[in-house]
Amino acid sequence: MKKVAVIFADGCEEVEGLSQVDVLRRLGLQADMVGLASKEVLGDHQIKLTCDKVVDDSLLDYDLVSFPGGLIGAKNLAASQKLAEIMQKRHQAGKWIAAMCAAPMALGKYGLLADTDFTCYPGFEDEITADCPTGRFHEDIVVTDKKQKVITSRGPATAWAFSYALANALGVETAELEKGMLYNYLKENI
């Protein structure tokens, strides 16, 4: 079974993180909620989240590690030296990493968006390219850089598209669930 870790930091955008966990678990993947510093995390909108575990070196064993956004949460992710070292090791090993909304800022701080196609919440692209000048920003809803094994997305409304992209990167077919969750209806009517 493929394993995904979604990293939750205080100040995270709850809908972005929980959408990933929900969609991935519906698809039969192991999707662990991992707290940055504690199992108890307080999201940006004062929603209390209880994670399965706390960041440690076991993140190296996951098929994909993903960051939800939220400005405060993203800043907390970016400030973690321990998480930076783990993510740099994952990137060097050619393992999938992902971030959405403001969280690509953390990947940029870690130096992981060099020579990478990415997207982010509008307005953060300049900060990211300042950290990774060879990063290539796109305004797409989701950007998957298959060569660098990096997936990024724009913000709360793109959480489902991002979640399906994570599953697709791991070789999981999502069409049936997209239909069942009315995602196809949404795509066709907006």
Under a CB-based contact definition with an 8 Å cutoff, are residues 152 and 96 in contact? no
Q: Given pLDDT bands bounded at 50, 70 and 90, which one contains residue 189?
A: confident
Residue range 75-90: mean pLDDT, rounded: 98
Residue 27 pLDDT exceeds 80: yes
Under a CB-based contact definition with an 8 Å cutoff, are residues 27 and 177 in contact? yes
Domain 3-189 indexed as CATH 3.40.50.880:
yes
Task: Of 153, 168, 149, give the one whose Cα is nearest residue 17.
Answer: 153
Q: Return the pLDDT at 9.
A: 98
Q: Given pLDDT bands bounded at 50, 70 and 90, which one contains residue 47?
A: very high
CA dist., res. 140 & res. 19, Å (int): 19
Residue 110 pLDDT exceeds 80: yes
Q: Return the pLDDT at 153.
A: 98
Neighbours of 75 (CB within 10 A): 17
